Chains A and B, each alone.
Chain A
Amino acid sequence: MVQYVWLIPLLPLIGAFINGVFGSRLSKTTVGVLASALMGVSFIIACSIFVHIISLPVHERSIEVSVYNWMTSGQFSVDINFLVDPLSTLMILVVTGVGFLIHVYSTGYMHHDKAFWRFFSYLNLFVFFMLMLVLGGNYLVMFLGWEGVGLCSYLLIGFWYEKKSASDAGKKAFVVNRVGDFGFILGLFLLFWTLSDSGIHSLNYGEVFAHAGSIDPATITIITLLLFVGACGKSAQFPLYVWLPDAMEGPTPVSALIHAATMVTAGVYMVARNNALYSLAPFTGEIVASVGIFTAFFAASIGLVQNDIKKVLAYSTVSQLGYMFAAVGVGAYTAGVFHLMTHAFFKGLLFLGSGSVIHAMSGEQDMRKMGGLHKHLKFTSTTFIIGAVAIAGIPPLAGFWSKDEILWEVFEKGHIYIWITGLVTAGMTAFYMFRQVFMTFTGECRADEHTKHHIHESPKSMTVPLIILAVLAVTGGVVGIPFFEEGTAAHHFLNSVFSHGAAVVNHQGAAAHDSEAIYGGLEFILMIVSVCVGALGIFLASLMYYEPMKKYAPSFWKAEVMASKFSGLYTLLYNKWYVDEIYDACIVNPIKRACAACLRFDLGVLDGMVNGAGWLTRFAAWLSHKFDIYVIDGLVNSMATGVSLDGRILRRLSSGQIQHYALVFVLGLIVIFGGFILGY
């Protein structure tokens, strides 16, 4: 079965091809069914591979499938190959499973769009590249997927290309991602050549990880940092996160699939995949965790005051990705990947829910113009609230288990500041999510009459995926429930992949594991703390935004009062810390000015020199012509000899014809060079 793993990415690729080439002539039903069905088949194959993998003994759960040699140049030889192991199996399950649901949802959501076929072609193509990314057995195949998802992200963000803001956002996403990729490929080169020096000419994970220990610590730190730059781009971490909020210009299913559930988690996957390298570079780990938790806090702070329903979710995604990096940064790879999975469920759900709301509101995205939608959109609002509870970290929903595992691991490994920041951010998360819930679904509807009139629940093709995702968001946490003898199911399953890294970390933290029993109790206490923080966030949001609760709120606890009281902070947050403006001033504009300066230099100096040389030649020709007429001819005439031949030759030479100059030039050079050689 595993031998046919290439079918999983191939099927969506076929779908992309058929829909891309013939889609305009097919009916919408055919296009939608074809794209979704291929995804469904991929998902079934992925499931069977999962079954196959868990049936194998633990140490045999890593299978490499090579398809063909991609490129070879000397020692640099790269295959197109796949690595099937618990990590990639989990990833393909998430990608094909959530992908399938979002395809189904899109058949409803995009139904009115003229370019329906183009959308599904891109969406299928995206899934193909995403599967290549997570299944790839070496760094270059990962990079193929890595860049490919970037392409699809570009195409789908700018799907409504007639809108300037959409095509701007697409371009920004691609270019910012490329900044990250720049770091990634340099890391890749350094890794390749470092290993190559010790005789390992391979970019296959298996060989690289097996020999990672031979790389000296400084080099491995640089390698991992460079790779992390790539992750910052793809997974929208500070300072390269700026493209993700703008990416919300794309259709909502795209935001759900690409910019929440799958593509943006690629960086987390990459770090987890490279746990063997990252565990050897504790300094990089610190950086990853710090960047992660800072991003988590930073993005959450912006999310507190945004009014666009999708923007809130976008900053929330950036923030949650920050958690994942905090986890993988401290070496809690399982926790990071676990959160990646549950996040795919609940954030996918929230985005699709917001899409359903936008669909109902005739395209309106401003929460200030919503409100009271619960009575019109029962399914949507119920599932959305489930998603919000999940992300807020309320047990027993999925988000609670995964987020709590991260916080616990961070605490256990002694990163108290990261833990505190994470805890505060968890409270902020609960606050902004319930601010959103209350603003959207409760109170009076603030929409205009026309929009109000059109509010309707979405079709089945949209609500059914919502319900399935809601179920997953509730139950998805079971694989991560601690307090079992053997550790969590997720831990158990992923253990063989992270054993490289774990060996190192456990060795360092051996002392910490001595008193397991005490920690068991502590873990429970911390759990209660984080639940309280989440509940507090919800409570504070309800005091500010939920009508029935508002009357209990102290007088200063009102949105308007707070905004005016801390107007400086509010403005700062509302304008997203002015990061885009800072980038424009410090990077974009200087580059534009440099471009203009280069152009002036090129036309003025370089071309000026060429033209100047041309002008000088003409001037010399003119001079010699004058010389010819006045001096030579004059001499000739005055001497009155019959040798007008000279004059004619010279006139020939200065005839202004290129060939003659060239001839003279060549002859002269031959003489000079010949003389040089002969006399040498």
Chain B
Amino acid sequence: MIENTLNFPILSLLIAIPLAGAIALFFFPREEKDAIRMTALGFTLVNFIASLLLLFYFDTSTYKMQFVERYDWIPWIGVQYFVGMDGISLLLMLLITLTSVIAVLCSWTAVEERVKEFMIHILILETGMVGVFVALDMILFFLFWEIGLVPMFFLIGVWGGKRKLYANIKFFLYTLFGSVFMLAAIIALYFAHGKATGVYTFDLLKLYEVTYSYDLQWWVFLAFFLGFAIKVPVFPFHTWLPDAHVEAPTAGSVILAAILLKMGTYGFLRFNLPLTLQASYTFAPFIVLLAVVGIVYGAFLAMAQKDIKKLVAYSSVSHLGAVMAGIFAMNQQGIDGGVLQMINHGVSTGGLFLLIGMIYERRHTREIADFGGLAKVMPVYATLALVIFFSSIGLPGTNGFVGEIMILVGLFRANVMMAAIGATGVILGAAYMLWMYQRVWFGKVTHAENAGLKDLSPREIVTLAPIIILIFWMGIFPGHFLKLTRASTAHLTEMIERNQAVMDMIAGSGRMTVEIPRNGAAKPDAQAQAGADAHVAAVHE
């Protein structure tokens, strides 16, 4: 059943196009590499353009899910095919479809072996990623979440570097370990909801409507936390990331950094905060602490790296620490900044991995010490790299600044000390990025192999162009992007504030359950049932 104003299953189409591309590629003879590449590029481009269409029909004035489609799937346990999107999903969706085009482009010459399988995996991965960010049924979400894991497993395992097996097993098992807890949390919610309302469903919007007992929230939050924190990754669950990044092919690294990590932060926004809001208050200070430690720790580790890709991987830990700190500042500025920074990180760190891929393709090394003086040999490359580096450092005028400043504004409101420690990231970030830039691009050409390197080809420039454009566009006119998510983040903030007010009203500490009507949309009977479980009297507004 299509429940949207568009009367067209646009989201399913976005999920299906890459899948159709993958199926189409099955029938290609494996020798026709260029045809395969062109076809893959065609499908990703079509998907990108299709996703741009969403912008024309998207209503920025509401937080409610749009372009909704809902079909029964496994009715006897309440599983549906239920998709829809709000502003947060929309921004991430655009990032996915764009990143997929870039992933195909950047593998054009980098991948010569098994091109067919490679492209098929990229396309399936795109399907999985799109699905994750639009699924509104928990089982469907979980399914897409796991679908995304498989092609990534192969991308690293088949086209990866020297230690790919180790990195791959670690990546796969670690993520799986987390997702098991996530599934457990989903099932716990399923039963709790069923018990409270008599309706057993995995429908996320229905699950939102019930306020669960604090004890359950506590456990569910923790289980979700494990699942998402590993994916983000939040300190100290990050050790799979550098290994996976270093071993992954460029396209894999780009997608991993730009999208897959965002699944974790998205999960916190979509599940932890709205579903287990009261537990979120309890956990927020700890998560902010971990996030801020991550900012500093990631930066320190980045500074100690000798491998360019590892350095960028650790810088991701630092940047995502900032995103997490923003989200769990639990105010408008923090969440807005966190959401924007998710996109920013996708753009700038995706760009950094592209840069690394380009030089790796030429020199087959990523040791910082093997370079030096590249600015002389490859001026265009050096210039574009400089732009992306400063975006990553968060220079005003680039996208990185807007997200960073909003996160810090929000975090400062939530906890001054944490904001002060987190803000040291602006110093450390500049230090490790500029140090690396100096060692790779500045100085004299000390290795003869570097002297004859070719500057970027037109294809490579086209690959980087959208990144450069976005860096300035989002830096100078962030309003165009913030506008899309404002209704969603404002709604979330309003919910947080409303709850906060109620929490403040009830003096006392320790484990306590407060029942609050959610979104004003809760059904009376559902509330009555949920209220029966409550330890403390229900508070109605």
Majority DSSP secondary structure for residues of A touching B: helix
- Known pairs A144-B401, A596-B304, A614-B173; list 19 more (Cβ under 8 Å): A68-B477, A73-B336, A73-B406, A73-B482, A73-B489, A74-B336, A74-B493, A75-B332, A151-B390, A161-B375, A161-B443, A162-B442, A170-B434, A171-B435, A193-B412, A598-B301, A599-B304, A599-B305, A669-B183
Q: Restricting to A90-108, which residues have a CB under 8 Å from any CB of B?
A: none
Interchain CA distance A70-B477 in the complex, whole Å: 6
Q: How many residues of A contact B (CB 8 A)?
A: 64
Q: A140-B405, A174-B434 known; A674 and B478 CB under 8 Å?
A: no
| A residues near B486, Cβ cutoff 8 Å | 72
Asked whether B478 lies within 8 Å of A189 as measured between CB atoms, the reply is no
- Min Cβ gap A45→B in Å is 22
Q: How far is the CA of A296 from the CA of B25 in the complex (A)?
A: 72
Among B192, B331, B408, B419, contact of A74 (Cβ-Cβ < 8 Å):
B331
Which residue of chain B has its CB nearest to the CB of A677? Answer: B191
For the complex, give the distance between the alpha carbons of A592 and B428 in Å: 12
User: Which positions 142-164 of chain A face chain B at CB distance < 8 Å?
Assistant: 143-144, 146-148, 151, 154, 158, 161-162, 164
**Is the Cβ of B187 less than 8 Å from the Cβ of A610?**
no
- Evaluate whether A185 and B426 lie within 8 angstroms (CB atoms) in the complex, with A76-B406, A614-B170, A670-B187 already known: yes
Stretch at the interface among B174-182, B352-360, B361-369: B174-182
CB-CB under 8 A from A404, the residues of chain B are none
Known interface pairs A71-B479, A73-B336, A610-B240; A168-B427 also in contact (CB < 8 Å) = no
Contact between chains at A148 and B183 (CB < 8 Å): no
Report whether A674 and B191 are in contact in the complex, using a CB–CB cutoff of 8 Å: yes
Of chain A, the residue at the smallest CB distance from B383 is: A20
For B444, the closest partner residue in chain A by CB is A162
Whether B187 lies near A168 (C-beta < 8 A) is no
Contact of A673 among B187, B424, B482, B489 (CB under 8 A): B187
Nearest first, the 9 closest Cβ-Cβ pairs linking A and B are: A74-B332, A144-B396, A73-B336, A167-B442, A189-B412, A595-B304, A161-B442, A677-B191, A607-B239
Q: Tell me whether B297 is interfacial, beta carbon within 8 Å.
A: yes
Least distance between B206 CB and chain A CB atoms (Å): 17
In the complex the two chains form, is A598's CB within 8 Å of B176's CB?
Answer: no
Known A599-B301, A606-B239; judge A73-B187 contact (CB<8 A): no
Across the interface, do B239 and A182 meet the contact criterion of CB distance under 8 Å?
no
Structural contact, B184 and A69, CB atoms closer than 8 A: no
- CB of A179 closer than 8 Å to a CB of B: yes
B172 at the interface (CB under 8 A from A): yes
Q: Is A678 an interface position by the 8 A CB rule?
A: yes
Q: Tell me whether A665 is interfacial, beta carbon within 8 Å.
A: yes
Q: Contact at B396–A147, with CB atoms within 8 Å?
A: yes
Check if A478 is an interface residue, CB within 8 A of chain B: no
User: Across the interface, do A658 and B173 meet the contact criterion of CB distance under 8 Å?
Assistant: yes
Contacts A161-B442, A676-B188 known; A595 to B303 CB distance under 8 Å? yes
Contact A162 B406 (CB under 8 A): no
Q: Given that A73-B482, A158-B442, A595-B303 are contacting pairs, would A673 and B490 also be in contact in the complex, using a CB cutoff of 8 Å?
A: no
A-B contact count (CB 8 A): 169
A190 and B417 alpha carbons, distance in the complex (Å): 12
Within 8 A of A (CB), among B388-437: 390, 395-397, 401-402, 405-406, 408-410, 412-413, 416, 419-420, 423-424, 426-427, 430-431, 434-435
Q: Which residues of B have CB within 8 Å of A175?
A: 427, 430-431, 434
- A–B complex contacts, Cβ < 8 Å, 21 sampled: A68-B479, A73-B406, A73-B482, A75-B332, A147-B401, A148-B396, A154-B434, A158-B442, A161-B375, A171-B434, A171-B438, A591-B300, A595-B300, A598-B300, A602-B297, A658-B169, A662-B180, A665-B177, A669-B180, A674-B187, A677-B195
Could you say which residues of chain B place their CB within 8 Å of the CB of A158? 438, 442
Contact A147 B395 (CB under 8 A): yes
| Main SS class of interface, B | helix
Q: Given the known inter-chain contacts A71-B482, A162-B373, please indicate yes or no for A167 contacting B443, CB distance below 8 A.
A: yes
Q: Are B180 and A665 in contact (CB under 8 A)?
A: yes
Residues from chain A with a CB closer than 8 A to the CB of B303 are 591-592, 595
Chain B residues with CB below 8 A from A607, complex form: 239
B75–chain A nearest beta-carbon distance, Å: 20
B253 on interface, CB distance cutoff 8 Å: no
Q: Does B376 contact A (CB under 8 A)?
A: yes
Quick check: is A315 within 8 A (CB to CB) of the other chain? no
Q: What sequence of 0s and 1s flags, for each residue 483-494 of chain B, a beta carbon within 8 Å of any chain A beta carbon?
A: 000100110010
Name the distance in Å between B246's Cβ and chain A's nearest Cβ: 13
Question: Measured between alpha carbons, how far is A192 from B219 in the docked complex, in Å?
Answer: 37
Contact with A along B323-362 (1 / 0, CB 8 A): 0000000011100110000000000000000000000000
Q: Say which residue of A143, A179, A599 sits within 8 Å of B396 (CB atoms).
A: A143
Which B259-313 residues have a C-beta within 8 angstroms of A?
297, 300-301, 303-305
Q: Would you give the shortest CB distance from A128 to chain B, in whole angstroms? A: 10
Whether B478 and A71, one on each chain, are in contact in the complex, defined by CB atoms closer than 8 angstroms, is: yes
- Confirm or deny: A178 has a beta carbon within 8 angstroms of a beta carbon on chain B: yes
8 Å CB interface, B71-100 against A: none
Our pick among A24, A71, A673 for the contact of B406 (Cβ within 8 Å) is A71
CB distance from A159 to the nearest CB of B (A): 11
- 1/0 per residue, CB under 8 A from B, across A592-614: the answer is 10111011001000110010001
CB of A287 within 8 A of chain B? no
Contacts of B195 in A (CB 8 A): 677
- In the complex, what distance in Å separates the CA atom of A258 from the CA atom of B532? 70
A307, chain B: closest CB distance, angstroms = 27
Q: Is the CB of B482 within 8 A of A72?
A: yes
Which residue of B is nearest A158, CB measured?
A: B442
* Smallest beta-carbon distance A14→chain B, Å: 15
Residue of B nearest to A596 (CB): B304
Distance in angstroms between the alpha carbons of A614 and B180 in the assembled complex? 16
Q: Inside 8 A of A674's CB, which chain B residues have their CB?
A: 187, 191
Q: Indicate if the CB atoms of A73 and B332 lie closer than 8 Å.
A: yes
Give Cα A186–Cα B426 distance, bound, in whole angstroms: 12
Which chain B residues border A596 with CB–CB below 8 Å? 304
Of residues 644 to 679 in A, which have CB atoms within 8 Å of B's CB atoms?
Answer: 658, 662, 665-666, 669-670, 672-674, 676-678
Are B373 and A70 neighbours in the complex by a CB distance under 8 Å? no
B67 within 8 A of A: no
Nearest-CB residue, chain A, relative to B302: A595
A75 to B176: give the CA distance in the assembly, Å.
40
In the assembled complex, the CB of B436 is this many whole angstroms from the nearest CB of chain A, namely 10
Decide yes or no whether B236 CB sits under 8 A from chain A: yes
Q: Does B381 contact A (CB under 8 A)?
A: no
Would you give the shortest CB distance from B535 to chain A, in whole angstroms?
12
B170 touches A610 (CB 8 A): yes
Give bound CA distance, A676 to B190, whole Å: 13
Contact among B181, B192, B396 with A669 in the assembled complex (CB-CB below 8 Å): B181
Kindly report which residue of chain A lies nearest to residue B434, judged by CB atoms: A171
Cβ of A181 under 8 Å from chain B: yes
Chain A contacts of B191 at CB under 8 A? 674, 677-678
- Taking CB atoms, residues of chain A closer than 8 Å to B187 are 670, 673-674
> Which residues of A sit under 8 angstroms from B192, Cβ to Cβ?
677
Q: What B residues does A678 contact at CB under 8 A?
A: 191
CB distance from A657 to the nearest CB of B (A): 12
Do A673 and B188 touch (CB < 8 A)? yes
Contact A189 B408 (CB under 8 A): yes
Residue B145 interfacial (CB < 8 Å): no
Given A658-B176, A662-B180, A71:B301 Cβ within 8 A:
no
Cβ of B225 within 8 Å of any chain A Cβ, yes or no, is no
Measured between beta carbons, the chain A residues less than 8 angstroms from B424 are 182
Contact with A along B466-508 (1 / 0, CB 8 A): 0000000000011100100010011001000000000000000
Q: How far is the CA of A181 from the CA of B174 in the complex (A)?
A: 39
Nearest A residue (CB) for B317: A602
**Would A185 and B423 be within 8 Å (CB), given that A70-B479, A666-B180 are in contact?**
yes
Q: Is the CB of A182 within 8 A of B479?
A: no
Q: Given the complex of chains A and B, what is the CA–CA distance between A676 and B215 in angstroms?
A: 11
**Contact: A602 with B239, CB < 8 Å?**
yes
